[in-house]
Every structure is written in C-alpha cells, then in structure tokens.
Amino acid sequence: VTYQVAGPVAGPIVGMVGGGQLARMTAPAAVPLGIRFRVLAEAPDSSAAQVAAEVEVGDHRDPEAVARFAKGCDVVTFDHEHVPTELLHRLEDAGVAVRPGPAALVHAQDKRVMRERLTAAGLPCPRWRPVGSVADVVAFAGEVGWPVVLKSTRGGYDGKGVWTVGEERAVERVLGAAGGGLLVEERVEFTRELAVLVARSPCGQAAVYPVVETVQVDGICREVVAPAPGIAEDHALAAQQAALRVAGELGVTGVMAVEMFDTADGVLVNELAMRPHNSGHWTIDGAVTSQFEQHLRAVVDLPLGATTPHAPYAVMVNVLGGDYPDLYPAFRHCMARDPGLRIHVYGKQVRRGRKVGHVTVLGGDLDRLRERARHAAGYLRGEVTE
Ligand SMILES: Nc1ncnc2c1ncn2[C@@H]1O[C@H](COP(=O)(O)OP(=O)(O)OP(=O)(O)O)[C@@H](O)[C@H]1O
Ligand SMILES: [Mg+2]
C-alpha cells in the first residue's frame, strides 16, 4: 500500500472498524512493525479503545463516520462483520483500500450467500436450503430427517440466530420470533468441530495454520486445542486445502477462519469469519506469527509469516463472565500456581457468559495442559476456588 506519513519508520496506517477484543489484540501486534493502528470504536471505553493510541468513536453503520475514519487510514479492516456491505462498496468505489473487500466479506455476513457460493464451488457443506415458511422446513426435514438446524442468514453470533428444531411446532415458534431471512441445514452428526485459520494477501500469497479443535457449549466457543488431537492426516490436509480454496475463490484479504465439522465421511464447512478469530487466539503465545500480526501483514500486503507452532500442543480456554466483577484479584493465585500460564483479559464489563478473556498454555502433555487451562479459566471467573 501507499502510505501517508513519512518518519524514521514510515509505515502504513491500518484502521480497524470495531473496538472489541480482536482490535485490542491487534494493537500490540502493530507495534514491532511500526504500523500505525487506528480504531473506530463504538464507545470511548470499549475493549480496544482502552489500549490503542489512536481511537475515533463512531457508529460502524454510519456512512459518514466510517468514511471520515477511512480518510485517516491507508487500509481499512474489521474487528467484526457488521459493517453494511453497501457502505463498504461505496467506500471501495471511492478508492479506499477495504480489506477484506465487501465482495469477499459478504460471505461472512450472509450465510445464504456463503452456502450458495461454496456449494457452487464444490466445497463440502451440510445439506441446506433457504426457507420462507414452516412448510419449506417440514419438507426439507422430510428429506434429511429431524432434527434440523434453522439459521438466520444475517446477524448471528455466539449461537444467537441458530436453532435446532425437532418438530413442526418448534419451527413455528422460531419462524414467529425470527425476523429476516432464514435457511435450514441438516443436523450434522459431527465427531467434533474444527477450525482452520488462513491468511491471504492482495498479491495472492496465502498461509495456513494447523487445524485446531474447537469446543462449543451453548453455541459459544469454550476451548481450542491446537493442533486438533489425533486428527487423521488426510482430514487435516483436506481441511487446510478447503480453507485455502475458499480464500482464493472468494479473493479474501486478511485472516479468515473456516469453521468446520469433522465427520466419519470427511470435513464439512460450517461458516466463515473474515477477521482474526477466537480459534486463533492460541497463536499469540503459541506460533511464530500470531494471527493478529498475520492479519496486519496480509492487509498491507507484506509477505506472510511462518505459522509454525512453538510446542506440540497449545490449549486455549475462554474466560467467560462469572461471579467476579473484577478479574484482577484472581491473577495472584493463578500466576503463582502456574508460571507458564498466559493470561489475556479484554477490559470488558463482566457479564455472565460474555467472553472477557482467555488463557493459553503450551506443552506436550495434553491432559495436563487442559487441566491447567481449565483451572485458570475457572478460577478467574470464580467457578473454581482453590
Ligand atoms: N448444521 C449443523 N449441524 C449441527 N450443529 C450445528 C450446525 N450448524 C451449527 N451447529 C452448531 O451451532 C454452533 C453455532 O453455529 P454457527 O457457527 O453457524 O453460528 P454463529 O452463531 O454464527 O456462530 P459464531 O459464534 O461462530 O459466529 C456451531 O458451532 C455448532 O456447534
Ligand atoms: Mg460459528
């Protein structure tokens, strides 16, 4: 990219729309590279606004606020997928480097667009169909069997906008309550959930991280193990190849996570996230290049970094809001018990079930790593008391 400011280290200015924990964790990754990092935050006290040197406060749905923010940046990228696609098309038409661009990003915003495109490209997906009525869903369930999974095409996150339904009356309830477009999928009998993180730059270079296992509880990611323990080599390779193909097909720039289901017959694509992702938090402590640095490198079109892990296993456990309004008092005990523990907190108001931080441990003994990471996450939220 061309950049605006010359200095002892004249680097580009990357602007991230959204001030959540992903922007917060991108800020320190910009520092060693001398990349100036700016954030368009929803509020002055949002997670990233607390740590980024250059913060603007504004609404990501407001075309003027986003355009004004973009004027001060060489590249615009995202902490979330909620900026309206149309707004981004207009920015791009006005000459702003939007990465990922709206033509790619829409596949992470709209599950129907994503399913259509991946199906057309021959990528393995669950059987699915767009639906508009109870009868559509019942007909689909007649073909694939109950239960089925209903999904809002837009706006879902952390399992909001996803409903498993076992009979017609449950379908009626969901259709009555959910606004907007819906699709239905077969309920996949997966053995586990996987995610593959890739990065792709405008020049077309791509890099892929090891396949990880993700554990979801009530639709929220709880735990990530890298690499996915005991994964068959052909499944891992197929998963990585599928993710690289998606990145190339869609012309993604930046980091993308492809969420997948592992099944007896191979891997199926669940959904896409075009930004750093919870399944890649382990890379901060556990890989040569963190996903946040990789995202920065990709959006400014620098060569990508090595994705090599530092240890045989990394285990990351999310800290969900629990009993303690303040996480800090628990640090002393966790740190004293486990000097190898890596703690990351997001500066967010603690609310029950909300992602407020994560912990990572690295090593070779997977059972022991799980015990250490779960203990720390449990202690931080007040679930474990010794
Ligand atoms: N077709 C399916 N079959 C079985 N389980 C499913 C299916 N689709 C979704 N799920 C379950 O629901 C979870 C959430 O679904 P999905 O990832 O599509 O929704 P989301 O709310 O957009 O997620 P995210 O929080 O990752 O943005 C999945 O991680 C998986 O556990
Ligand atoms: Mg998901």
> Separation of 312 CA from ligand 1 center, angstroms?
28
In SS3 terms, 103-155 reads as HHHHHHHEHHHHHHHHHHCCCCCCCEEEECCHHHHHHHHHHHCCCEEEEECEC
What is residue 211's DSSP assignment?
P
Nearest CA to ligand 1 atom 12: 219
> Separation of 162 CA from ligand 1 center, angstroms?
7
State residue 3's pLDDT score: 65
Structure tokens at 268: 């199926």
Burial of 50 (C-beta count, 10 Å sphere; 0-12/13-18/19+): middle
State residue 323's pLDDT score: 83
> Separation of 228 CA from ligand 2 center, angstroms?
17
Q: Is there an atom of ligand 1 within 6 Å of 187 CB? A: yes
- Measure CA of the first residue to CA of the last residue in the chain; give whole Å: 51
**Residue whose CB lies within 8 A of the most ligand 1 atoms, among 271, 277, 281, 318, for a mutation test:** 271
> Separation of 33 CA from ligand 2 center, angstroms?
31
Q: Is there an atom of ligand 1 within 6 Å of 217 CB? A: no
State residue 159's pLDDT score: 78
Structure tokens at 161: 């906008």
> Separation of 183 CA from ligand 1 center, angstroms?
13
DSSP per-residue letters across 323-352? S-S-SGGGHHHHHHH-TT-EEEE--PPP-T
Cis check for the bond before 227: say yes or no (omega within 30 of 0). Answer: yes
What is residue 305's DSSP assignment?
P
> Separation of 159 CA from ligand 1 center, angstroms?
6
State residue 158's pLDDT score: 77
Q: How far apart are CA 292 and CA 365, in angstroms?
A: 27
In ligand 1, the atom with minimum distance to the C-alpha of 185 is: 1
Question: Which protein residues have their CB within 5 A of the ion that is ligand 2?
Answer: 259, 271
State residue 194's pLDDT score: 98
- The pLDDT tens digits along the chain (386 residues) read 666 665 666 789 999 999 999 999 999 999 999 999 999 999 999 999 999 999 999 999 999 999 999 999 999 999 999 999 999 999 999 999 999 999 999 999 999 999 999 999 999 999 999 999 999 999 999 999 999 999 999 987 777 899 999 999 999 999 998 888 999 999 999 999 999 999 999 999 999 999 999 999 988 999 999 999 999 999 999 999 999 999 999 999 999 999 999 999 999 999 999 999 999 999 999 999 999 999 999 999 999 999 999 999 999 999 999 888 899 999 999 999 999 999 999 999 999 999 999 999 999 999 999 999 999 999 999 998 88
> Separation of 164 CA from ligand 2 center, angstroms?
14
Q: Is there an atom of ligand 1 within 6 Å of 279 CB? A: no
Helix axis angle, 111-120 to 102-109, nearest 10°: 110
Q: Is there an atom of ligand 1 within 6 Å of 81 CB? A: no
Nearest-ligand number for the alpha carbon of 156: 1
102: helix, strand or coil: helix
> Separation of 123 CA from ligand 1 center, angstroms?
18
> Separation of 270 CA from ligand 1 center, angstroms?
7
Q: Is there an atom of ligand 1 within 6 Å of 89 CB? A: no
DSSP per-residue letters across 49-91? TTT-SEEEE--TT-HHHHHHHHHT-SEEEESSS-S-HHHHHHH
In ligand 1, the atom with minimum distance to the C-alpha of 158 is: 25
**Residue whose CB lies within 8 A of the most ligand 1 atoms, among 81, 111, 162, for a mutation test:** 162
Q: Is there an atom of ligand 1 within 6 Å of 259 CB? A: yes
Nearest-ligand number for the alpha carbon of 80: 1
